[in-house]
Amino acid sequence: MINASVNDVLMELLCEVRDILNENNIVYSLYGSTAAKAIARGHIDEPSASIMVRNEDFVRLCDIMEKSKLKKHRSFDSMHNNPNYMDYTARYSNTETTNISLAQKGNIFKSGIYVEIIPLRAENNTPFQHKFLRFLEHGWEKHFCKLTSVRYKYLLTVPFINLFKLCVGKKRAAKFIFNKLAEAHSGEFKNSITIKGFNETLSEFTFDPLAKTKTVRVDGKNFSISAKIKIILRRVYSRRWRKKAKTTVKGENNIVLLDVSCKELERTFKRKNNIWKKYFRKKSRQMLVKSISAYYDRQKSKVWTLAKRTGTRARLYFYYLPKMGLIRNLLANEDYYRLASVMRLNRLATLLAYKQGAGFAVNKELFEIQLKLFRFEGNEELANRLEAMTPKYYMNSIVENEEK
C-alpha cells in the first residue's frame, strides 16, 4: 500500500462493501456527503464513506459478516459483534490504516479508513415506543451516571444498563441492546422514514428512499444510489448541497496514516510516555483557535460590524489602513529594511499562525508583500509553505465591496 492514496483505499473498501451487498441481494444507496460528492464531482476526497440500507437488511448484514471470514486487514464492527462499538450503525474498516479525528475524541472503534453502513428506520408513532427506543440508546451510550433533561426523549438509564452489563457481561449486553434497537427500528415502510445516526434523527421522509435506485459513477466505478437522492440531500444539507460538495472536504482535519494500524501507533506512542495525548490535545486546541479565528476573520458587509470584532485580521486591517500609501511607496522604492519595520506586526501574526499549522493574511496585497519580505530575507521555503497553506478566502478584502 506504499503507493496508495487515501482515495485508493476508500474506493477499494467501497467496492468490497458493494460486492458483499450485491451478493446478498441487499438494496443500498450512497448517502450523505459521499452521495453529494459522487453526484457533484464524481470523486470522493474523504477518509470515510456512508451507505444506507433498510433496517431488516442491516440486521441480516451484521449476522452475515459475523459468520463470514473477512479479508486480511479488514474489520466489520457493530454493536452486534463488538461490545466496544456503541452505535446502531456498522463500519467496514481497513485495519492497516489509522484515521484520527481531532474533532471526536475517544472513538476507539474508529481504527482507520472506513465505510459506514447506516440503517433506515420506520419512525415509531406511539410515545411509549419512542421512549423505549431512546431509553436503550441513551442508556448504552453513556459511560457514567448523568441526569439528562427529563423529557419524553430523555431518561436516566445508565444505572440500569451498567447493572445489566455486570450481570450478563458486556458482550451479551451489547447483543441484547442491538436486538432491542433492531426491533424498535423495524416496521413497514409506509409512513415517515428516517435515516438513523446514533441519538439523532438525521432526516425524515414520507417515502421509502430505497424503493427505487439508479447508478452513479465514481472514479470509473458504478454504485447504487437512491432515485430520490437529490430530495434527500436538499433536506439534509439545504439547497446549496451541490456547491458545498464541490468546495468542502469532510474529515479535512483528520490525520490519516497508511500502513500503520491504530494499535501499532498507540503502542509506539506509549513507549514514549504517552506523548500522543499531548500531541492530539494540542492539535484539537489549534482546531478550536482556527475555527474561532475563521468566524472573526470572515468578510463583513459593513465596516462598523468589523470594528466590533477583536480578531487579529480585523485589528491589523484598521492598523494598516492609513499606512497603505507608505507601504506601497516603500515597496516601489525597494526599501525593504524600512518596509520590514512597518510590517513587523503582520509578520508576527503570520508566523504565529504558521506555528499553529495554519496560514494567515489580512488581504492579498499585504500577504504578497509579506511573502516578498520573507524571500528577500532568504526564507524561500517558508514563503512557499505559507503560499500553499493559506486559505483563499484570506485573499479577499475583509470588508465586502471595499473601494480601493
6-122+188-271: CATH topology is Beta Polymerase; domain 2 (3.30.460)
* Nearest-5° Cα angle at 11, 9 to 16: 95
Q: How far apart are CA 262 and CA 381, in angstroms?
A: 32
Question: For the chain, what is the mean pLDDT?
Answer: 79
Higher-pLDDT residue of 290 and 92 is 92
Give the residue extent of every domain in the chain.
6-122+188-271, 285-395
- Percent of all residues in the chain with a pLDDT value above 70, rounded to a whole number: 75
- DSSP character for 393? G
Name the nearest CA neighbour of 44 among 28, 60, 32. 32
Is residue 163 predicted with pLDDT exceeding 60?
Answer: yes
Nearest to 286 by CA among 232, 353, 348, 344: 353
Q: How far is CA 71 from CA 65, 68, 104, 335, 352, in A?
A: 11, 10, 28, 65, 46
Nearest in space to 81 (alpha carbons), one of 72, 96, 70, 73: 70
Range of weakest confidence among 51-60, 128-137, 231-240: 128-137
pLDDT digits (tens, 9 = 90+) for 314-354: 888 888 988 999 999 999 998 998 999 999 999 998 998 88
pTM of the model: 0.68
77 or 169, higher pLDDT: 77
Where does residue 332 rank: exposed (0-12), middle (13-18), buried (19+ CB within 10 A)?
exposed
For residue 307, pLDDT over 80 is answered with: no
Output Rg (C-alpha) for the chain, integer angstroms: 26
Q: How far apart are CA 129 and CA 126, in angstroms?
A: 5
pLDDT in tens, 206-225: 888 898 999 999 988 999 99
163 burial via Cβ count (<10 Å: 0-12, 13-18, 19+): exposed
